Amino acid sequence: MAVKAKKTARKSNTIKLKFDTSWSYDPAPESKSAASIKPKYDHFINGAWVKPAGGKYFDSINPANEEKLSEVADGNEADVNKAVSAARNAYEQTWQKMPAKERAKYIFRIARMVQEKARELAIIETLDGGKPIRESRDFDVPTAANHFFYYAGWADKLEYAFPNRKTSALGVAGQIIPWNFPLLMAAWKIAPALATGNTVVLKPAETTPLTALKLAEIIQESDLPPGVVNIITGAGATGADIVNHPDINKIAFTGSTDVGKLIQRAVAGTNKRVTLELGGKAANIIFEDAPLDQAVEGVINGIYFNQGHVCCAGSRLYVQESVAKQVIRKLKDRMETLIVGDPLDKNTDIGAINSRQQLDTIQRYIKIGKQEGAEMYESSCRLPGKGFFCRPTLFTNVAQSNRIAQEEIFGPVLSVLTFRTDDEVIEKANNSPYGLSAGVWTDKGSKIFNLTKRMRAGVVWANTFNKFDPTSPFGGYKESGFGREGGFAWVIALCEFN
């Protein structure tokens, strides 16, 4: 690594180290050869690979270079019918009857197999979704394995967890997941469903189906009884077929608020249970007494790592007025050092935007921000010639009512607003249609408790951001959805109490 530092004398005679942004790391790409991707994938139904009834397939591409990675089956109603009846049959004939401690062994085995194939899964996640290998390797895959481990532990404890009450499974769970954490979301949904004795029909997002299909291979190898987990690929229409299927007992959906509303309408008046984990516009709040360098790092992590493709991304930053100038300067300096580019490179901080469509949405919002009169700053980094990339971007002079402060952008775009008092920032932070998550940076524990009590957000991180583990419940207020997934809450949501 070559770092050239220029010393620049400032008027006050203090010395400022200014980093030349031409500094570079040598490329350190992860090898693609450790990943095996089949040219074509069918649906995974009843423990076997089944051709789509309509005979149609669609491409899954690498968003970092727009090259085709594989073809996957396009599911229709007939495929969904087949998967649901396999899941129902497995529920009634096998899974429901199996002693809980035996169910746990399968879940534990899947966890171990995910760990054993961690490198391959991380590479495929990065190729298919565009996220940096560092993220898939250090966060997505280990956290996915942890979900299987954690819920394996729950299976045989259910009998003792609710004194004087008996629990049973709900039946068949229909699970629809988005493209931002493809493998992790699959684990997050499948592991607790299996632990509580339910069987599953899961649909990954159309732009990122490959790690869920790899998980299907693992499930097949694990000898899990056929039909307990079925994985159907397809786009929104396939998702709607799952939602509308009359023999599904529980719908668990993670995705956009618009689709969440459609799903809620579709299941109204049916007996289906529903949890919806939808969009967000998280407020990240920096008080003047916060350790500023640590806070700035947390803000950068909260919005730029993972390309801002996180429903709980800290996309609204509220800084106390007295430190606003200092924080903005530190943010801009740090943005300049972020490495945007090849997601397979181990040095990359910001990878590819997941799809052309998502890149267009982000660019549309950047335009809106400028039209609204906010001041835009973007890092000066060079972007690769091919693929879908976006520079880390920041807006200052943002008004609370601006669309870039109210609407979910789902990209590396941060809106910075200021405040003077605790009451003011709580009011502003809560003034959002969403309420999924928030962050607070301060030296004072009492301030943290005051804030967390009054924030209308499902998760509030204090002096950290975007921390996840399988034991913590997760879910939103308002248009961010309802129901809690994760931890004990997720177990409760998947059980019937008798």
Active site members: 277, 311
38-62 b/e (C-beta count within 10 Å ≥ 16 → b): eeebbbbbbbebbebbeeebbebbb
d(CA 69, CA 61): 5
Pick from 174, 149, 213: nearest CA to 91: 174
Shortest Å, Cβ 173 to ligand ADP:
14
Nearer to ligand ADP, 254 or 320 (CB): 254
User: 433: Cβ–Cβ under 8 A, 6 or more apart, which residues?
Assistant: 257, 281, 406, 478, 479
Nearer to ligand ADP, 75 or 369 (CB): 75
Shortest Å, Cβ 104 to ligand ADP:
29
Shortest Å, Cβ 476 to ligand ADP:
14
Nearer to ligand ADP, 258 or 427 (CB): 258
- Give the three-state DSSP class for 70: strand
Shortest Å, Cβ 266 to ligand ADP:
7
Shortest Å, Cβ 481 to ligand ADP:
11
Nearer to ligand ADP, 252 or 405 (CB): 252
User: Letter for the amino acid at 263?
Assistant: I
3-state secondary structure 299-341: HHHHHCHHHHCCCCCCCEEEEEHHHHHHHHHHHHHHHHCCCEC
d(CA 135, CA 126): 9
d(CA 294, CA 311): 22
Nearer to ligand ADP, 153 or 236 (CB): 236
d(CA 168, CA 71): 39
User: Letter for the amino acid at 15?
Assistant: I
Shortest Å, Cβ 243 to ligand ADP:
5
Shortest Å, Cβ 357 to ligand ADP:
8
User: 293: Cβ–Cβ under 8 A, 6 or more apart, which residues?
Assistant: 330
d(CA 59, CA 70): 6
**Residues 395 and 407 sit within 8 Å (Cβ to Cβ):** no
Nearer to ligand ADP, 291 or 433 (CB): 433
Number of H helices, E strands in the chain: 17, 24
In the complex, the residues that contact ligand ADP under the rule CB under 6 A are 176-179, 203, 205-206, 235-236, 239-240, 243, 255-256, 259, 262-263
Task: Tell me which H or E stretch contains 211.
Answer: helix 210-221
**Residues 388 and 130 sit within 8 Å (Cβ to Cβ):** yes
